[in-house]
Amino acid sequence: MGAQGQLTRACADGIGSRLVYACLPGRPAAPGQLEIGLQKRLFTKKAYRLALLGHPVGHSVSKPVQEAALRSVGLDGVYMHLDVPPTAMTKDTISTLFESGVDGVNVTIPHKERAHRLCDVRGDSARSTGAVNTLWRSGRRIAGENTDVYGFEKLLEHKKVDVQGERVLVVGAGGAARAVCEALVRKGAKVTVAARHPERAARLAKRFGADWEPLSRSSGRRVDHSLVVNSTPIGTKGTGLETRALPSRILAGRGVFVDLVYNPEVTSSMRAARDRGRLSFGGLEMLVRQGEEAFRIWTGKDPDVARMRLAARRAVRR
């Protein structure tokens, strides 16, 4: 039942089943049932099967965003949120998904660095960051790319944030931070990485020729960064971190604060940053634009970004 069970419905043909329960339009009898028309098209391979792998995935709004992208170019399909714990994020898991009929996969926290190691073929951004958030099959090989880099670049452009020559503090040292650092270095920013685990911050900084410091040090001194980026899950809905915010000293000062968290639309850190004088933006635009690039990789078509953005906003405001 539900999202996990939907996988066996969407990929029924690929796993050898010729009998699947479906429902009339808008009238599912059980969680995860697909409408009979879509279920039939999935059997005939005229619809796309896409999925998100993460742990947790309950906060994600990628499903309505990617399904809006499909409709915008006249394609049919289903996008599934699959909760995959770290121990199950293996090459066998990914291969089984593709062998069962899945056409494309997104990867979110905490699997992006692991996904990079599982790939046989890596795109330019995947190689430069050491993290992957988009997977597909190239022949019999698993291919991966990091579309978060493109997504963050587009967020900065959309919000008119110029980082050329500016001092930027990136909070976090995970997969998302890698994409942010790559995009910032490309645009000529002077980057400092701050994280709870100094060894991770040091490794990430070395990879991009950046500076680093323990998060505790950042929270105890005067802030002089024109841009601060939160690349951690602090503040994310459904994770138990909703009410948490970054240390207030990090958020103080003039300039811009970007929180990659997009659900809720306004996080505790964003409110705190605004109260302390920073212009603040959430990560919804990055979600949409990285999804745009992933969709282009999977389908070869350019989706309607405006429709994707509208679907994302509606989803987070429910």
Contact 256, 228 (CB under 8 A): yes
CATH of the domain at 61: 3.40.50.10860
Indicate the pTM of the whole model: 0.94
Q: Where are the alpha helices (DSSP H) in the chain?
A: 2-10, 36-43, 62-72, 91-99, 112-118, 124-129, 148-158, 175-186, 198-208, 215-218, 248-251, 268-275, 284-299, 305-316
Residues 271 and 307 in one domain: no
Contact 198, 214 (CB under 8 A): yes
Residues 193 and 267 in one domain: yes
Residues 122 and 209 in one domain: no
Run of H or E including 239: none
Q: Are strands 227-230 and 211-214 parallel, antiparallel or unpaired?
A: unpaired
Q: What is the DSSP letter of 258?
A: E
Length of the chain: 318
| Span 237-294, pLDDT tens digits | 988 788 899 998 889 888 999 999 999 999 999 999 999 999 999 999 999 999 999 9
Residues 89 and 185 in one domain: no
| Span 169-192, pLDDT tens digits | 999 999 999 999 999 999 999 999
Q: Give the domain range for residue 190.
A: 149-282
Give the chain's residues under pLDDT 70.
217-223
Rounded-to-integer distance, Cα 212 and Cα 204, Å: 8
- The reported pLDDT for the residue numbered 222 is 55
Residues 12 and 137 in one domain: yes
Q: Are strands 121-122 and 134-138 parallel, antiparallel or unpaired?
A: unpaired
Beta bridge partner(s), residue 77 = 48
Residues 136 and 174 in one domain: no
Catalytic residue among 46, 63, 91, 112: 112
Residues 292 and 275 in one domain: no
Residues 82 and 134 in one domain: yes
Give the total number of structural domains in the chain.
2
**Residue 112 falls in the annotated catalytic set:** yes
Residues 24 and 126 in one domain: yes
- The reported pLDDT for the residue numbered 115 is 98
Contact 75, 41 (CB under 8 A): no
Residues 270 and 219 in one domain: yes
Q: Tokens 């293996």 map to which residue?
A: 90
Rounded-to-integer distance, Cα 274 and Cα 248, Å: 11
Residues 155 and 36 in one domain: no
Residues 25 and 128 in one domain: yes
CATH of the domain at 236: 3.40.50.720
